[in-house]
Structures are given as structure tokens and as C-alpha cells.
Structure 1
Amino acid sequence: MRVIVENDYQSMSRKAALLLASQVNLKPNSVLGLATGSTPEGMYQELVEMYHRGEIDFSEVVTFNLDEYYKLPPENEESYHYYMQENFFKHVNLHPENTNIPRGMVEKVETECWYYEEKIRRAGGIDLQVLGIGSNGHIGFNEPGDRLNVTTKLVELTEETIESNSRFFDSLDKVPRKAISVGMATILKARRIILLASGKNKAEAIKKTINGYVDTRIPSSLLQTHPETTLIIDEEAASLL
């Protein structure tokens, strides 16, 4: 596990964008695993600027997002479909048919989960997976527990995650209680992984991710078992190391 500590959020975002751009420039048809939330926003902004400067071409890239809220329409401003369109997809030359996000409005959830895994397999697997991290160590919506989902599944969100995500919604009761999330085994099959973390509220989770035991109660700690994982964090997130 490689750890890169940058001075601040902007520097962290720029470093992450450079690593992702390097992947795409070396392999134009890369398969990217993408994350949502406040932390990757700066990285997406940097990538959009790089695209407009002619420094990167996404025309052959295929993307798979980690998760989506269950029963939240894609046009809802808090859905991850909407997030990806507004923060990244519509600003670069990704082909819409090459972007993939779990469909939260489906009735047959098990079929959707199986199909999503199959699409990743047919694409050749994830070349570079981008991750954020929750304050409880969750990645994607793989929440702490005695057992973790292996593949893409419908998951129950913890009260801590619901409370944390309520800042994006009008009220706590508007936050979905379930989500479709790519599982830990699928994440760990990615050839390379970069995890981003910013702020003091992530410091404890980062400490346990790097220096703690490998424990399903800290899902991010499983990244210790991956041979090509890079953590890009700011000084506040690194304050307990």
C-alpha cells in the first residue's frame, strides 16, 4: 500500500487526476471504476480542465460506478446518475453507452446486480478503481459488519451513513435507506486502486485502513491485501498516522 500525503484538498485532487489521466493516456480504452460524494469532485474538475486543454481523451474509455441509491430516480438531483452527469460525464467526450451506473429503480434487483457484474466481466474487469471512504471505513456502500458482500448487491445503509449523507438532502427522512453497491471482491479484483480522503473527520478511518487489522468491521482495511493500492490524502486526513 502506497500512501501519498498532499498539503490540501486541491493538491490531493490534482494528484488523483494526474494518476487517472496517466492510466487513460497509457491505455486509451481503460475501464475505470468511479466513485461519487464530495471528495472526488475536485478530481473530476481537474480532469474536465485537462480534457478542455487537450491533455486527455475519454472517447474509448468505459466507466462503472460503484453504487446508486435504491428507488431514487436517476433524474433526482441527489442520485448518482445526476451527480456523474453534472460533475463529469457531460463535460468530457465519454460516450454515454460506455458509462455504467447501477439502476436503482429496477424491480428485479438480483437480476440487475448479476447483470452489472456480468458487464464488468465482459469489459475485461476494472483497470483503475477510484474510491472514497466513509468515516466508518466503508467504501462504496460496503458497510462495516461481520460479513461483507462479495459481488454487487442491494445493501442496507447504516444510521451513521444515513446521517452523514443527509447533508445532501432536504431532511434526514429523505435519505434512502438502501443502495445497490459493488461488492468488496469485485473492488479488490481491480488491477489498480486509488483511495481519496480529505479532512480530519476521515483521519481515524485512514489510520485504521493503513495501520489497523484487516477487519470486515473496517471494510477499507481489506485494501491492505491488494498489491496495487495508492492512498492519496491531505494532511488533515493523515493527522493520526
Structure 2
Amino acid sequence: MEIIILPDAAEVGRVAGAKIASIVAGRPQAVIGLATGSSPQGIYAELARRVQAGSLSFAEARGFALDEYVGIPADHPESYASVIAREVVAPLGFDPSRVRVPDGRAADLAAAAKEYDGAIAEAGGIDVQILGIGSNGHIGFNEPTSSFASRTRIKTLAPKTRQDNARFFDSPDQVPTHCMTQGLGTILEARELVLVAQGAGKADAVAAAVEGPLSAFVPGSALQLHEHATVIVDEAAASGLRLSDYYRYTYDNRPDWQRFE
């Protein structure tokens, strides 16, 4: 696992965006795992800047969203189908037909979840999965005690997660109780993982995921099992890390083959 500590949220977005851009530049048909929420917004802003400058294209890329609320209309502004279309597909120039979001409105949710995993496999697997982390350590919507072997499935959102997401809705009562999410097992099959976190509110979760024991109680700790996981955080989110000086040293002394900026 590579840990990159940067001065602020803007730098997190810029460097993480550069990491994703380097993958797409080398493989224009790359399959990208797309996270939502506030954490990856800086990544998408940096990628959009590069697209607008003409130095990067997602025209041949494919995308699979991490998760979706269950029961929320597709045209609701806070459905992840709407968020991905608005914040990712349009500004990055994806072909909309090449971007999938889990179907939280399916009549048979279990079958839809299984089909989603199958669609990822048929696409050749995800080349790089973008991730945020919740204050309780969740990634995707894999709440604490999620199995490391879990596949795309229905989950009940923890009260803390619903509380954190209430800022996107008119009232906390409007936040759905259930979701469809890629499982930890699905996420770990991606060839590369890039997790970003900003702010002191994520410090405990970042420290537990990176330096704590491997535990289903901290789903983000599953990244410790992955061969190519990169965690990019600002100083506030890094404030709970015990080996922060070492992480800064290794980043400052990267060999040329490890650089992507």
C-alpha cells in the first residue's frame, strides 16, 4: 500500500486525478470504478480539466459505479444514476452507454446485483477503482462487519452513514435506508485501488484502515489485502497516522518508475 500525504484537499484531487489520468492515457479503453460523494469530487474536477485541455479522453473508457440507493427514482437529483451522469459522464466525456450504475429500482434486486457483478467481469474487470472512506470506515456502502468476500448485494445503511449523507437531501428522513453496493470481494478484484480522504473527520477511519488490524469492523482495512492500493489524504485526514513521517519520506524518494505526475 502506498500512502501519500498532501497539504490540502486541492492537492489530493490533483494528485489522485493524475494517477487516474496516467492509467487512462496508457489504456484508453480502461474500465474505471466510479465513486460518488464529496471525497472524489476533486479527482473528477482534475480529470475534467485535463479533458477540456485536450490532453485526456474517456471516449473509449468504460465506467461502473460503486453503489446506488434502493428505491430512489432514477431521475431524483441525488440518485447515483443522476450524480454519475451529472458529475462524471458529462464533464469527462464518457459515452453514456458505456457507464453502468447498479439498478436499485429492479423488481428482483438480488438478480440485478448478481448481473452487475457479471457485467464487470464481462468488461474484463475494473482497471482502477476510485474510493472514498466513511467516518465509520466503510468503502462503497460496505458497512462495518461486511464480509471481505462479499459481492454486489443489498445492504442496510448504518444510521451514521444516513446521517452523513443527509446533507445531500432536503431532510434526513429522505435518505434511503437500503442500497445496492459492490462488495468488498468485488472491489478487491480491481487491478488498482485509489482511495482519497480529506478532513479531520476521516482521520480515525484512515488510521484504522491503513495501520489498524485487518478487521471486518473496519471495511476499509480490506485495502491491506490488495497488491496495488494507493491512499491519498490531506494533512488533516492523515493526523491519526503513526508512520506519517515514513510515508512522506517514501513519497519524496520515489523511484522514477513509480512516478505518475
TM-score bin (small chain): over 0.9
The CA deviation string for residues 180-203 of structure 1, in whole angstroms up to 9 with x for no partner, is 000000100111000000000000
Q: Where do 1:100-111 residues align within 5 Å?
A: 100-111=100-111
The CA deviation string for residues 2-44 of structure 1, in whole angstroms up to 9 with x for no partner, is 0001110000000011000000000110011010001111111
- SS where residue 13 of structure 2 aligns? helix
Aligned to 1:215: 215
The CA deviation string for residues 83-103 of structure 1, in whole angstroms up to 9 with x for no partner, is 112212112321111101001
TM-score for both structures, normalised by structure 2 = 0.90
- SS where residue 16 of structure 2 aligns? helix
Aligned to 1:206: 206
* CA distance in structure 2 between the partners assigned to 1:171 and 1:190 by the alignment: 35
Aligned to 1:97: 97
Cα distance change of structure 1 residues 146 and 168 upon mapping to structure 2, 3 Å threshold: closer
Aligned to 1:122: 122
Aligned to 1:41: 41
Query: Alpha-carbon deviation of 1:149?
Result: 6.1
Aligned to 1:112: 112
- SS where residue 215 of structure 1 aligns? coil
The CA deviation string for residues 102-146 of structure 1, in whole angstroms up to 9 with x for no partner, is 011111101111110110000010110000000000000000026
* CA distance in structure 2 between the partners assigned to 1:218 and 1:52 by the alignment: 38
* CA distance in structure 2 between the partners assigned to 1:239 and 1:45 by the alignment: 25
Which amino acid in the other structure matches residue 235 of structure 1?
Answer: E
TM-score for both structures, normalised by structure 1 = 0.98
How many residue pairs get aligned? The number is: 241
Aligned to 2:143: 143
RMSD between aligned residues: 1.0
Contact 1:45 1:88 in 2 (8 A): no
* CA distance in structure 2 between the partners assigned to 1:210 and 1:88 by the alignment: 28
Contact 2:131 2:193 in 1 (8 A): yes
- SS where residue 180 of structure 2 aligns? strand
Aligned to 1:156: 156
Aligned to 2:250: none
Most deviating of 191-200 and 162-171 = 162-171
Query: Alpha-carbon deviation of 1:74?
Result: 1.5
Aligned to 1:9: 9
Contact 2:129 2:192 in 1 (8 A): yes
Aligned to 2:255: none
* CA distance in structure 1 between the partners assigned to 2:212 and 2:92 by the alignment: 39
* CA distance in structure 2 between the partners assigned to 1:53 and 1:147 by the alignment: 42
Q: Does 1:186 align with 2:167?
A: no
Query: Alpha-carbon deviation of 1:224?
Result: 0.5
* CA distance in structure 2 between the partners assigned to 1:211 and 1:198 by the alignment: 17
Aligned to 2:225: 225
Cα distance change of structure 1 residues 95 and 223 upon mapping to structure 2, 3 Å threshold: same
Which amino acid in the other structure matches residue 212 of structure 1?
Answer: G
Query: Alpha-carbon deviation of 1:150?
Result: 1.0
Which amino acid in the other structure matches residue 73 of structure 1?
Answer: P
Identity of matched residues, %: 40
Aligned to 1:80: 80
Most deviating of 149-158 and 23-32 = 149-158
Q: Does 1:32 align with 2:32?
A: yes
Most deviating of 162-171 and 213-222 = 162-171
Contact 1:71 1:104 in 2 (8 A): yes
Which amino acid in the other structure matches residue 112 of structure 1?
Answer: A
Which amino acid in the other structure matches residue 118 of structure 1?
Answer: G
- SS where residue 33 of structure 2 aligns? strand
Most deviating of 141-150 and 46-55 = 141-150
Q: Does 1:174 align with 2:180?
A: no
Contact 2:33 2:66 in 1 (8 A): yes
